[in-house]
Structures are given as structure tokens and as C-alpha cells.
Amino acid sequence: MSIPSKADDSNAEYLEIEWIQLMPKDDLNALLNPPEVLLDIEDGASNDNLDSLDKLSETDENAKRFKQALTSTRVIESYHNKRIRIPGFMVPLESNEDQLITEFFIVPYFGACLHLPPPPPNQIIHGRFEQGVELNSLQDPFWFDGTIIIELTENDLGQSAYTMQLDKVILFGDE
């Protein structure tokens, strides 16, 4: 299901990017190298929470940098006002009278923003698609084509460091 917008230019070139390209290399490095003590915490254990990281980051420089990367709004300036294509999942924020999703967060993996911690803001894109998209399942992956800008957006579900005015939203596999 390909849904072009009214302003769609089917011949337009989009730079296909991966999510890690939207974050500074030192943020990525911090997230890929968490403090050793965090690796020893079993999922769901009583100390598997952000409070444990808060305490650890007071004395451990690696933990402090890891914690900063988890909430980083630092962006890659060269992507501002670029036409990009990125795969991702949709977290609905607003819909129109036809129950089509018109505003949403675009996230790199299913369940983001629903689990803690959410992705860093530089790994969340605030998407706007005036025409709206029918979303059958939160597990549906899409291609998002449009113009990305650097703009901070906050709401109850999360915070994004980028915004994208979409030209096309394409269900993954339908492209």
C-alpha cells in the first residue's frame, strides 16, 4: 500500500539512510558500549531500572556518558532540510475524522516509546502526513519519504529531535 501525498513528486530523489546516521558518532559509541555493570543486570530484575543508572552515573564516567546518550537531542546538522527515505515503525499521535493517522512518531523498532527507556530523541522523528495513513497494526513497518528538519518535539510518549514532512508513506514490502 503506497500512499503518496498531494504534493508527491514520484520522480523525486530521496537519500536512503539508516537510523544510526541521525546520531553523532560519540552518542552511538556510548550506546554500543554500556557500562559493564549494566550488562550483568538480568532483564526484569529489581535493579533493572533507570534509578540504577542514575546512581551509577554519579561515580562512573562511562555510565554518565551512556546516560547522556540515552536522552541526547544532538543531531546531524547536514540532514536539515534534506529529502530522505528511512524505514521504521509508527507510534500514532493524532488522527483525522476518518481515523487515518496524520501525526506520529517514526521510530527504529517496534515497541519504541512503549517500553523504557525509549529511544534517544535523535532516534525519533516526528512525522506529519496531512493525507493520513491507515494503520492496521503497530507492528507494521513502513518506508517514510519526505523532507527532514531539525526541530525538537515533546509529548507524553516521547521527545524527537527531528521532524519530517512526508511525501509518501509506504508499507514495507509494497514498494
The CATH code of the domain that includes 93 is 2.40.50.870
Beta-bridge partners for 11: none
- Is residue 135 within 8 Å of residue 68, measured between CB atoms? no
* Number of structural domains found in the chain: 2
**Quick one: 108 and 165 in the same domain?**
yes
**Quick one: 42 and 103 in the same domain?**
no
**C-alpha 159: how far from chain center:** 9
Say yes or no to pLDDT of 50 above 70: no
**Quick one: 81 and 65 in the same domain?**
no
**Quick one: 167 and 94 in the same domain?**
yes
Q: Is residue 1 part of a domain?
A: no
pTM to 2 decimal places = 0.84
pLDDT at 6: 45
**Quick one: 83 and 150 in the same domain?**
yes
Beta-bridge partners for 150: 162
**Quick one: 61 and 42 in the same domain?**
yes
pLDDT at 45: 63
**Quick one: 53 and 89 in the same domain?**
no
Q: Is residue 136 part of a domain?
A: yes
**Quick one: 55 and 118 in the same domain?**
no
pLDDT at 118: 83
Query: pLDDT of 26-39, one tens digit each?
Result: 999 999 988 877 77
Q: Is residue 8 part of a domain?
A: no
Say yes or no to pLDDT of 141 above 90: yes
Confidence of residue 114 (pLDDT cuts 50, 70, 90): low
pLDDT at 59: 74
**Which domain range does residue 123 map to?**
13-19+76-171
Average pLDDT, the chain: 86
Q: How far apart are CA 82 and CA 67, in angstroms?
A: 29
pLDDT at 40: 72
User: Higher model confidence: residue 67 or residue 76?
Assistant: 76
**Quick one: 151 and 100 in the same domain?**
yes
Report the percentage of the chain scoring pLDDT > 70: 79
**Quick one: 61 and 107 in the same domain?**
no
Tell me the HSE value of 57 on the side-chain side, using a 13 A CA sphere.
15
- Is residue 76 within 8 Å of residue 19, measured between CB atoms? no
C-alpha cell at position 34? 554500556
**Quick one: 157 and 104 in the same domain?**
yes
- Is residue 167 within 8 Å of residue 13, measured between CB atoms? no
Q: Is residue 128 part of a domain?
A: yes
Cβ-Cβ contacts under 8 Å for 81 (sequence gap 6 or more): 147, 148, 149
Q: Is residue 3 part of a domain?
A: no
**Quick one: 157 and 88 in the same domain?**
yes
Report the percentage of the chain scoring pLDDT > 90: 63
CA distances in angstroms from 91 to 18, 44, 69, 108, listed in the order given: 18, 24, 22, 11
pLDDT at 115: 60
Residue 125: name the closest of 100, 97, 103 by CA: 103
Say yes or no to pLDDT of 171 above 90: yes
